[in-house]
Structure 1
Amino acid sequence: MEGMTNWRVFEKLFIESYSILIAYSFRFIKDRELAKDIVQDVFLELWKNRQSIDFESPLKSYLFKSVYNRSINYLTSKYAETSVFMGVDNEIEAILHAEESVDKEVSLLELQSEINKYLNTISPRNREIFTLSRLNGLKNKEVADKLCISIKTVEKNLSLIIKDLRAYLADRDLLSLSLLFILIS
């Protein structure tokens, strides 16, 4: 039974992460087919090692780091084979700088995923208010006009939604309150 549970978690992780990881690898290697191969290799390796992996733990940062490492290894071998080093220093510097942003990107993806999970728990009307205001950037008056409700209703509901969302995310230790305030206030 545990094998079936691992397969379902693996399958869900694959569906949620595959396209994002391809785009991430593509940023480094600039070859979409090769990026697909790298991501598939990472998932294959994950599945091969499934006996030693805790599928209940967060695996997205592991996947991003693995894709990053394989992409960098590819670039390193590509440059070593061709012996063309013009501009390589700048490119390597950019890649090393990108490594620092891996954790940030993973955190933002986790944040986005958790916000989506939260939004699925609230009423359709409140989800629409939040989406129009925070994701589409409409002003409270525009939201009120679009939904045929009062501005006070929009303000009140947004205030409650954001308060609940902050508590929801704080329970998951995703971001400090100051960063959270910047992202969703």
Structure 2
Amino acid sequence: MKNPEIFEQTYTEYWKKLNAFSYTMTQDKDLAQNIVQDVFIDLWERKDDLNINAIEPYLFRAVKNQVFKHYQNNRFDKTILEDQFEDYVIDNFASIDPELMDSLYTLLDKLPEKRKEVLLMYKFQDMSIDQIADELGISKQTVKNQISSALKQLREGLKDLAWLAPYIILHQKF
């Protein structure tokens, strides 16, 4: 990373993805850009001291940490951000790298059968609540309850898989 050309190439390759990731957590365009900019400034300033084996996980983790640091400094409840992060992972579940799917499928397998079926129809098959209710012969409210319960259960499981977060995010299509 000591080479300016490599740094510029890294910046060009990851700026858009990191900015989109930062925005999903902050919901503030300017703040998201500032955070990503700070990460790259820090990367450049510390280039002689850092020994980074995998740049993608490093950058995504750095952005996540900067977002948390920003809100922590502003006395913001970090759990709100963690929930947004987990929502993001769950919402983009279908596009996650296949190698990581095994760990996530383990979480899915812990869901009750009907709950899992409803969630998979909703997230993987992009079926609407109405379509799921019709196909399964259950009420729309039951579908909503099952989705809500499944997402809550997955969020709890994702807390245990926090180490996967940088790897999950870097395989997203922005």
Give the TM-score normalised by structure 2.
0.48
Computing the radius of gyration over CA atoms, which structure comes out larger, 1 or 2? 1
Give the TM-score normalised by structure 1.
0.45
Highest RCO, 1 vs 2 (Cα 8 Å, sep ≥ 6): 2
More helix by percentage = 1
